[in-house]
Amino acid sequence: MGMKFCSLSSGSSGNCQYIETDKVRILIDAGFSGRKVEDLLSSIGVCPSTIDCIFVTHEHMDHIKGVGVLSRRYDIPIFANEGTWINMSSKIGEIDNKNIKIIHTDKDFEIADLGVHPFKIFHDACDPVGYIFFYKNIKITIMTDTGWVNNEMKNIIKGSSLYLLESNHDVNMLKYGKYPWYLKKRILSTKGHLSNDDAGRVLSQVLLGNGEIILLAHLSQENNIPYLAHETVGSFVKDCGINIHKDITLDLTYRDRATKVYSL
């Protein structure tokens, strides 16, 4: 069958991603009510009871709101590092001990036929991570909610078949928008969120132009426009000699619905 990926939703109101292989179905984050996540899964023809596990990136509510409900309802294991567990436990309710799975940042492990590599990112959470998932010769990178991407992170994610990468805001829209200064400062910091320009620069340094799929994620409703994010990132990629219409697929995620299901 290969590997399937769908961004069920991405944005400040909630985040949830779906990956499927021959042997496992997983969610990365579940930042909506349990019912909303069930509806999102149903929209792509997936029964929530078939989810094998949930991976958590960090403890902010737009990433964990439905994690506890889904775990209790469907007996689903939850994977997160110790810092994230400590900081989200009081927010997600009681979890059966057998479903508490503590992982370690930068340490590889496997779930069925899926390899997993959690890696350090930079956000104002306790120990936030991005994830790389490996299946046969396919590599998927999930990296949102980071204010900075250093060279080590670029080296880790390079060579992915699919990138879910944050393109949160347009810097000018944010600077001259209505957000209070403390929030603007947080978003613009190295522990905030990547701008469209940031996303474009990162991609221009990691893309090979061999058919990669790029999904721009976590777009701000107030400080970004989907068309602008696509155009800004696309211009950086084109400047490094990659044809965005032939060499790669450059798409967007949505805050209120799922993307199509990508088969890799």
What is the per-residue pLDDT across 254-263, written as a single tens digit (0 to 9) for each? 999 999 999 9
Mean per-residue pLDDT of the chain:
98
Domain limits, the chain: 4-263
pLDDT grade for 74, boundaries at 50, 70 and 90: very high
Integer Cα distance of 23 and 53 in angstroms: 12
Mean pLDDT of the region 54-64: 98
Provide, rounded to the nearest whole percent, the portion of the chain with pLDDT above 70: 100
Distance between CA atoms of 159 and 53, rounded to whole angstroms?
26
Q: What is the pLDDT of residue 207?
A: 98
Q: Quick one: pLDDT band at residue 2, thresholds 50, 70, 90?
A: confident
| Mean pLDDT confidence for 96-121 | 98
pLDDT at 1 over 90: no
The per-residue pLDDT for 5 is: 98
For residue range 204-213, list pLDDT tens digits in order. Answer: 999 999 999 9
Q: Residue 157 above 80 pLDDT? A: yes
- Distance, in Å, from the CA atom of 147 to the CA atom of 187, rounded to the nearest integer, reads 7
Looking at the chain, which runs of residues are DSSP E strands? 4-9, 16-20, 25-28, 53-55, 78-81, 100-103, 109-111, 114-120, 129-135, 138-143, 162-166, 213-217, 249-252, 262-263
Q: What is the pLDDT of residues 170-211, one digit of tens each?
A: 999 999 999 999 999 999 999 999 999 999 999 999 999 999
Top CATH class of 4-263 equals alpha beta
- pTM score, two decimals? 0.97
